[in-house]
Amino acid sequence: MNKNILTVVIFFISIANYSQETQKTSTFNKIKDRINVSLESNSQWYLNDSETGDFEEEEKLRASSYLRIDYQISNRFSSGFQIESYVPEPLFNYSKLFDKKIGIGTFYLNYKTEKLDITLGHFYVQFGSGLILRTWEDRALGLNNALRGAKIIYDPTNYLRLTTLYGKQRKGFDVSNSNIFGFETQFDIANALQLETLNSFQLGMSYVGKQEEFKKEAATGVSQPALEIPELVNSFGAYLNLEYKSLYSNFEYIYKGEDARLNNITPNQVSFSEAALFDGNAITWNIGYSRKGFGIGSTFRRLENMRFYSERNFSNVINNPTSDLSMNYLPALTKQHDYTLANIYLYQAQPGLTVVSYESPLIKSGEIGESLDVYYNIKKGTLFGGKYGTKLNLNWTYWANLKSTYTDPSGIPYFVGDDLTYETELLNFDNKLYSEINVEMRKKWTPKLKSIFTYINLNYNKGFLESKGANSFVKAWIGIAESTYKLKGGKSVRLELQHLSTNDDAKNWAGGTLEYFFNSKFGLYLNDSYNYEESKITENTKIHFFNLGGSFTKGSTRVGINYGRQRGGLLCVGGVCRPVSKNTGVTLNFVTTF
């Protein structure tokens, strides 16, 4: 570890620990009140397993650790930094940008008054719903795409907010080779015009520019199309949010400027994905109604070529599975599940543009779809409500590939510039990718016993979504029953049973979880997922994917340990996914703040 970093860490930890143990001087008490330190470490020891196979990587012990220190300098000034360690190596399937490195990942200095908020250093930001720009950190996915530069938020009135920013996006412990500019204005129309009949009426407009130099000399000796690559890519967005009594509506439109997609850049070669420039756009519309005991909401979204990266050569999703240098937020708008078998067939957003195969061809230009959520509480004292009432939730989702007309690129080698062009239809839902019906019932039986019952029926276009060729649908249903029973002395036991059945692909799976809490601080669990019928997913056939572990919490400190197997596939958090490989090992999680 760098000596300067180590000195800073020891200094701040010493101050925090000393201030917790002594009340002798007011100086340390003031520091204690102004400083916040958090430490998180996630480590895993990967093991060879006769069922899941040997762990072939050289380094079997891996860890990703984060030390964050924030200090309130005064009423208006605050600062902080985050030290990150990925030694001896980061967790398996994390971005290679962090391999075997330790250093300061982010730092900032902030000045804030009632009307002005200025940040220098690293910062996180979101324009609208994030379709045009969102930076955030998610340690479970190994993702941190913060911008380093300056952000200014100014509120001249109580109905107007102006945000402007400049920065370079984080790239491991370095920054990208591009400049990011942004501006957003948020105007509260209801407040400005004193429209008291409206709960909320807001208009937002945003601009994001990406300036990235393209060096033609990099293509020396290679036949490449004569493209005029734009140095500045301009994108624009607008959204309108309306709330009236029990009704709400949110509409957003994004236009992303033309740019090229690069597959590879070396000193002697530049490989284009296509011999053309393409722009992109996105439309989302949320509308709903809610009152006590009932709610209904619908979401429509259309994405066309909306992958947005701060460097062009990271834009090919096949070569960038961890979405490094992604500038916008494109979650899958499907119901998020906490159950293992419900996460085998996961839909991942398909923003395009991706050419997976030139022989079929399998070309993805974007997605179009919608979802519907209905919530209803059956009243207490009725036949189906019982003594404590019953909560019902129905979710329906449908997603399709954009109906598009392409040039025929057959016969042209993969990763070589070609004459691909395409046109899409605005509203066409014919090319089905995924559909799901989810019914959930939550029932409290007694003051000590409550249950959740879930039924899922889905259609999953495996051939298209997993880039394996022509349309090939998997039809599956999943049934889940979960009950929690409270015992005396703060103890509780939770039992969860699951079953997945498909027409042919994964055949039949059974799963379950048994969890026992001795008190609110200490608990143990055992879960297992088993493909008990011969499966076409050969790598997962008849293997018990079990996990045995527990957690202990005291104050602001939590320790968790787990031994077991991880099924290969997608790991998703908040609708954003990354691929993970099948493995076996011991995992240790440690989180504390002081």
- Block mean pLDDT (10 aa), the chain, length 594: 47 46 60 90 94 88 96 95 93 86 94 97 97 95 95 97 98 95 97 93 98 70 64 97 96 95 66 79 97 96 95 81 91 91 92 68 85 96 92 97 73 47 88 96 96 97 81 92 95 97 88 96 96 71 91 96 91 82 94 94
Same domain, yes or no, for 505 and 365?
yes
* Single pTM value for the model: 0.89
| CATH number (domain holding residue 265) | 2.40.160.100
The domain of 454 spans: 331-542
194 part of a folded domain: yes
Same domain, yes or no, for 304 and 389?
no
Same domain, yes or no, for 436 and 532?
yes
Give the span between the Cα atoms of 127 and 131, in whole angstroms: 8
Number of domains in the chain: 2
Rg (CA), the chain: 26
pLDDT score at 579: 83
Give residues with Cβ within 8 angstroms of 146, minimum separation 6.
106, 122, 123, 124, 135, 137, 169, 170
Q: Exposed, middle or buried, 113 (CB in 10 Å: 0-12/13-18/19+)? A: exposed
Closest listed residue to residue 350, CA positions, set 296, 424, 262, 411: 424
Which of 293, 320, 347 lies at the terminal end of a domain, its last residue? 320
Question: Do 22 and 31 touch, CB atoms closer than 8 A?
Answer: no
Same domain, yes or no, for 398 and 533?
yes
229 part of a folded domain: yes
Give the span between the Cα atoms of 550 and 567, in whole angstroms: 20
189 part of a folded domain: yes
Please identify which residue in the block is written with the tokens 């895993």. Answer: 44
For residue 276, give the 3-state DSSP assignment.
coil
Give the span between the Cα atoms of 52 and 46, in whole angstroms: 11
160 part of a folded domain: yes
Pair of tokens at residue 331: 């979650």
202 part of a folded domain: yes
126 part of a folded domain: yes
51 part of a folded domain: no
Which of 542, 559, 589 lies at the terminal end of a domain, its last residue? 542
Same domain, yes or no, for 368 and 496?
yes
pLDDT score at 15: 43
